[in-house]
Structure 1
Amino acid sequence: MLHFWVTLIFLRCVQTYGQRQPFRDTEQRQEALTYASEAFVFDTNSQIDLSGEPWTSKYGPQNDLGYSGPLTFSHFDYRKCLEDASTPFDIGIIGFPFDTTTSYRPGARFGPYAIRSGSRRQSLGAGRGYTLAWGSSPSDFGSGLLDCGDVPISAYDNAKAIDQMEAAYSTLLSRPVLGGTSEVYKEKTRAFSLDGKEHPRLVTLGGDHTIVLPILRSLHKVYGPVSVIHFDAHLDTWPPRGTTTQEGITHGSFFAVAAGEGLLTNTSIHAGIRCKMLGIEDMEHDDSVGFQVISSEDIDDYGIKKIIEKIRKRIGNKPVYLSLDIDVVDPGQAPATGTPEVGGWTTREVKRILRGLSGLKFIGADIVEVAPAYDNADITGIAAADIVHDFLSMMLVDGPPEPHGAGPFDETDLLP
Structure 2
Amino acid sequence: MVARSLLALCLAAVAAAHGDHGEQKIIAGPLQSLWYNRLPGDGGTQADSVFSGISTFGRLPYLPCLSHKDITYDIAFIGAPFDTGTSYRPGARFGPSGIRQGSRRLNLYGGYNVPLETNPFNSWATVIDCGDIPVTSYDNTYALHQIEEGHYSILSRSPATDADKKGPSLQGKTLPRVITLGGDHTITLPLLRSINRAYGPVTVIHFDSHLDTWRPKVFGGSPSEVASVNHGTYFYHAAQEGLLRNDSNIHAGIRTTLSGPSDYENDGYCGFEIVEAREIDTIGTDGIIKKIRDRVGTENPVYLSLDIDTLDPAFAPATGTPETGGWSTRELRTILRGLDGINLVAADIVEVAPAYDTNAELTTMAAADALYEIMSIMVKKGPLSGLEVEAGDDL
Q: TM-score, normalised by structure 1?
A: 0.79
Q: Distance in 1 between matches of 2:201 and 2:106?
A: 35
Shift of 1:368: 0.3
Q: Deviations over 1:45-86 (max 9, x none)?
A: 9999969x86585532x5321100111111111012110234
**Pairing partner for 2:138 from 149, 156, 171:** 156
Identity of aligned residues (%): 49
Q: Deviations over 1:163-204 (max 9, x none)?
A: 00011011111111111xxxxxx78x9432111111111110
**Pairing partner for 2:105 from 121, 128, 146:** 121
Paired residues, number: 350
Counterparts in 2 of 1:257-406, with a 5 A limit?
257-266=237-246, 267-316=248-297, 317-376=299-358, 377-398=360-381
Q: Does residue 96 of the first structure (1) align with residue 76 of the second (2)?
A: no
C-alpha contact (below 8 Å) 2:205/2:251 kept by paired residues: yes
Q: Deviations over 1:263-293 (max 9, x none)?
A: 0011100000000001111001101110000
Say if 1:300 and 1:49 are closer, same or farther in 2 by CA, change over 3 A: closer
Q: Deviations over 1:61-114 (max 9, x none)?
A: x53211001111111110121102343111000000000010011000000011
Shift of 1:134: 2.2
Larger RCO, structure (CA 8 Å, separation 6 or more): 2
| Residue ranges of structure 2 left out of the alignment (5+ in a row) | 1-12, 25-37, 383-395
Q: Distance in 2 between matches of 1:256 and 1:217?
A: 13
Q: Distance in 1 between matches of 2:17 and 2:88?
A: 54
- Which residue does the alignment assign to 1:171? 153
* Corresponding residue SS for 1:146: strand
* Corresponding residue SS for 1:94: strand
Q: Distance in 1 between matches of 2:106 and 2:310?
A: 23
Say if 1:50 and 1:195 are closer, same or farther in 2 by CA, change over 3 A: closer
* Corresponding residue SS for 1:165: helix
Q: Which amino acid aligns with 1:110?
A: F
C-alpha contact (below 8 Å) 2:277/2:325 kept by paired residues: yes
Counterparts in 2 of 1:95-244, with a 5 A limit?
95-123=79-107, 128-179=110-161, 190-241=166-217, 242-244=222-224
Q: Which amino acid aligns with 1:245?
A: E
Q: Which amino acid aligns with 2:364?
A: G
Instruction: Give 1 or 2 for the bigger CA radius of gyration.
Output: 1
C-alpha contact (below 8 Å) 2:22/2:40 kept by paired residues: no
C-alpha contact (below 8 Å) 1:66/1:123 kept by paired residues: no
Shift of 1:141: 3.1
Q: Does residue 256 of the first structure (1) align with residue 236 of the second (2)?
A: yes
Shift of 1:123: 3.3
| Larger helix percent | 1
Bigger Cα displacement from structure 2, 381-390 vs 41-50: 41-50
Q: In angstroms, what is the RMSD of aligned CA positions?
A: 2.5
- Which residue does the alignment assign to 1:404? none
Q: Distance in 2 between matches of 1:194 and 1:86?
A: 22
C-alpha contact (below 8 Å) 1:190/1:199 kept by paired residues: no
Say if 1:155 and 1:131 are closer, same or farther in 2 by CA, change over 3 A: same
Say if 1:50 and 1:105 are closer, same or farther in 2 by CA, change over 3 A: closer
Q: Which amino acid aligns with 1:276?
A: T
| Residue ranges of structure 1 left out of the alignment (5+ in a row) | 1-39, 180-185, 400-416
* Corresponding residue SS for 2:149: helix
Q: Which amino acid aligns with 1:160?
A: Y
